[in-house]
Every structure is written in structure tokens, then in C-alpha cells.
Amino acid sequence: MSSVASNNSLDANSEGIMLSARQLFCERDDRVLFQNLDFDLAEGQVLQVQGSNGSGKTTLLRILCGLNDSYAGSIRWYGQEIEEQAAAFFASLLYIGHRVGVSKVLSPIENLRWSCSLKQAVNEDQIMSALKEVGLRGFEESPCYTLSAGQQQRVSLARLLISPAKLWVLDEPFTTLDTKGVAQLESILQDQAKAGGSVMVTTHHQLTIPQLSLLSLG
């Protein structure tokens, strides 16, 4: 059985509520991961999903991103059922899962060209600038299999600096990052919130972001 608590919850009909869920229920292998789960994610907010391993954090994110339909309950995008707003929702979403999500045979430039082209036109200057900002200057054309795990993670996170998405859903993005990378990613998340975007993130890292609220599973 899972219990849920959240901070700074807002009414789902309030202005600025981007994503909301009511009475979400999910079980796996005859075990309830969460039930009666309510939360609101507002513009300018970072919502950290907390919980022990196996509590359903990744499952929740995959449900919200349309990658798992084994649930009951209501999910809304700006107050309307997400099924009725699917095109607008997915156009505004950037999901980065807990796997690095880069092709190791491609270079960082090639990975970003491919991933960004799925949703938007992006030029080489934007890609080069993003890779430089995440600390990959000089590695832009190196095959990703020659990069460290932390560098591969930075390739994936460079997408954040290019994407115009209003909603970022990130599953353990701090994994393998060094101290400098952690501080930089926190700054990127904070900038997203300051610009009026929203972030939903799972991490065991203790975030220090003013716009932070918590959602606890288990």
C-alpha cells in the first residue's frame, strides 16, 4: 500500500495548473504501487517525486508520458482530460528516462540532431552551444562509446538546453554526474521554472531549488 503527500498542491481548476492527476491507481504483479494519488504541477514549479526503490516512481512518470496505460484515475492537461489534449500535451513534453538514451555509435552532435529533429528544427550553432554548456567541448564528434558514463549523461541532458518544451519529465537525471554536473543541472531546472515551464523529476539527490515541491510515494 502506498501513501502520498505533496507540498504546495493547487486546485486543479486554478490558473497556471499545467498537469494534474486525481485518484490515480496502479498495481503491478498483484501489488498496489499507489492509490488515491492526487497532485498538481503548476507553471514555474519543480515537483520532485520521492520514494524507495520499487515504490512506483518510474511507473508514475511513464503513465504520465503515455508509455504505460495500466492505471485508473484522471490525468489532466490545463484542466482537460489528457486524452482530449493529446496533441498539445505531447508537443509540450520532453521526457528523458533513467536510461541514458543515446546511441553509442553516434557522436554527441549526431545524437542531438536525431533526437531534436523529432519535434523541432534545430541548427548546428544551437547544438554546439548546448554541448559546450554541458562540458562536452572537444567531444562533439567523438563516438559516444568512447565517452564516460557521466559524459553520455551530459549528451542526453544537452537536449534540455535546446528543447522548447514547457514540461520536462526526468527520471533520475543526476545519475553518474559529478559535483559540477549536479550543480549545473540544478541551475538548468531552476531556469526552466523561472521561464514559466515545469519540471517533474525523480532523484535521490537532495535538490536545493526555490520552486521545489515534493510528492512522496510509499
pLDDT at 122: 78
The ranges assigned to domains in the chain are 1-92+166-218, 102-164
Beta bridge partners of 34: 26
pLDDT digits (tens, 9 = 90+) for 99-111: 878 999 999 999 9
pLDDT at residue 217 greater than cutoff 60? yes
Entry pTM:
0.89
**By the 8 A CB rule, do 177 and 144 touch?**
no
pLDDT digits (tens, 9 = 90+) for 133-163: 999 999 999 999 999 999 999 999 999 999 8
Say which range, 36-40, 117-121, 171-175, 190-194, has the weakest mean pLDDT.
117-121
pLDDT at 170: 96
Query: Degrees (nearest 5) of the Cα angle 98, 49, 90?
Result: 65
C-alpha cell at 39: 497532485
Question: How many other C-beta atoms can be found within 10 angstroms of the C-beta atom of residue 78?
Answer: 17
Which parts of 80-158 fold into alpha helices (H)? 86-91, 108-117, 124-133, 149-157
Say which range, 22-26, 140-144, 207-211, has the weakest mean pLDDT.
207-211
**By the 8 A CB rule, do 139 and 108 touch?**
yes
pLDDT at 188: 95
Q: Which CATH architecture has domain 1-92+166-218?
A: 3-Layer(aba) Sandwich (3.40)
Percent share of the chain, pLDDT over 70: 93
How far apart are alpha carbons 56 and 4 in whole angstroms? 11
pLDDT digits (tens, 9 = 90+) for 58-113: 999 999 999 999 999 999 999 999 999 999 999 999 999 888 789 999 999 999 98
Q: Answer with the residue of higher pLDDT: 74 or 15.
A: 74
